Structure 1
Amino acid sequence: MRKLKQFIAGDEDGDRGESFLEEDSDGSCSLTATQENVRFAACLAAGLAFMFLSLIVFVKPIKFALLFTFGNIFAVGSTAFLIGTGQQLTMMFDSTRVYATSIYLGCVVISLICALLIHNKILTLIAIVCEICALIWYSLSYIPFARTMLSNLMVRVFDTEL
């Protein structure tokens, strides 16, 4: 792919230097492993901090929903620094977890709408509970047989199936 770009740009020698923000041929930014790890840790720490702060303002459901939702977005998005944005999106919308991803993203949007536009505390809390359940189901999609085990557990405990 790089050779094709060089040919189209008229740079057959390939001596054109790439800037920091330009992407390599594999689609990832040219960061060192240490930089990727630091950015992952910072984004994950910000997400966890938002989620921790949301527990402090739990009695105010709208503030709780905003902090908790943004914390989730930061925490889930932090892995993009490790595997790349394209790879993360490919994994998120893989056929095994496309429904879990869609439901999770839908719950995130619904909780933000309930908190920011509707300003209804009960709807916001219901949306946050749905978001937490969707996040758990989405996270379990990355663990082999985890969703099957949870479904079997639900059948045994509650005599129902997910």
Structure 2
Amino acid sequence: MSGFLSQSFTTISSGVQGGVNAVASGEAFSIPSGQQLVYFFCFLAAGGVFLLLAFMLFLPVIILAPSKFALSFTLGCLCIMSGFIQLRGFKQQLTHMMSADRLPYSLGYVGSVLATLYAALVMRSYLLSLLCSGLQVVALLYYLLSYFPGGANGVKFMLQLFSQAAMRCFASVYAMVAK
């Protein structure tokens, strides 16, 4: 019995020591420095300003200038993501985003951001900017909700409800116009 207890305490203490070493080396968690916090809040504030511009100023005129909304929304999201990169560290954030369970969401989000920027800045396409902005919003929802258990299924359910409601709306508008 004493051999079992001795072996158990040795195993526990080596596990605790390994956890302490991992924390000390910065692998598991590290407390952000004051400079990291300043950068985080600056990027967060800049992202908030861009998102505020996108939704308050450019969303009402999205029909006239969708590229302004797309660019402002994308810059806001990139600033917020940059803030979290400053907080966690670039390598840790990249490793986290490229893990097997997060990779599809990360690739979808990064792809939609690049497509939005390409459509808005290079192609200057009205329809493609709108489409890519919509895809970016959906990809952002999937990316954010993938952190919660069952989050992606919730997004699928909400998108199905939205598409059914939109189809009913279009059908009723079509029925009124056809009369």
TM-score, normalised to structure 1, is 0.71
Greater fraction helix: 2
> Sequence identity of aligned pairs in percent?
32
- Deviations 1:67-107 (CA, angstroms, capped at 9, x unpaired): 11111111122111221111111111111110111111111
For 1:157 and 1:46, the matched residues in 2 are separated by 31
Structure 2 CA distance for partners of 1:118 and 1:150, relative to 1, 3 Å? closer
User: CA distance change for structure 1 residues 117 and 93 in 2, over 3 Å: closer, same or farther?
Assistant: same
Question: Gapped runs of 5+ residues in structure 1?
Answer: 1-24
- Whether the aligned pair in 1 keeps the contact of 2:112 and 2:132 (CA below 8 Å) is yes
Q: 1:38/1:122 Cα in 2 relative to 1: closer, same or farther (>3 Å)?
A: same
Q: Could you tell me which of 90, 104, 115 is aligned with 1:110?
A: 115
> What is the alpha-carbon root mean square deviation over aligned residues?
2.4
Runs (4+) of structure 1 exceeding 3 A deviation are 148-159
Corresponding residue number in structure 2 for 1:33? 33
Whether the 8 Å contact between 1:40 and 1:81 is mirrored in structure 2 is yes
Alignment match, 1:96: 101
In structure 1, distance between residues paired with 2:129 and 2:157: 30
Unaligned residue ranges in structure 2 (runs of 5+):
1-24, 165-179
Q: 1:75: which partner in 2? A: 80
Question: What secondary structure does 2:100 align onto?
Answer: coil
Question: Is residue 70–residue 130 contact of structure 2 (8 Å, CA) maintained in 1?
Answer: yes
The answer to whether the 8 A contact 1:92-1:101 is kept is yes
Normalization by structure 2: what TM-score? 0.65
Give yes or no for the alignment of 1:86 onto 2:91. Answer: yes
* Structure 1 residues 155 and 88: CA distance shift in structure 2, 3 A: same
Match of 2:58 in 1: 57
CA distance 1:132–1:41, shift in 2 (3 Å): same
2:116, 2:129 within 8 Å by CA — same for their partners in 1?
Answer: yes
Contact in 2 for aligned 1:96/1:141 (Cα 8 Å): no
Once the two structures are TM-superposed, the CA of residue 151 in structure 1 deviates from its matched residue by: 4.0
Equivalent position SS for 2:101: coil
Higher CA-based Rg: 2
Q: Which moved more, 1:94-103 or 1:53-62?
A: 53-62
Distance in 2 (alpha carbons) for counterparts of 1:134 and 1:96 = 15
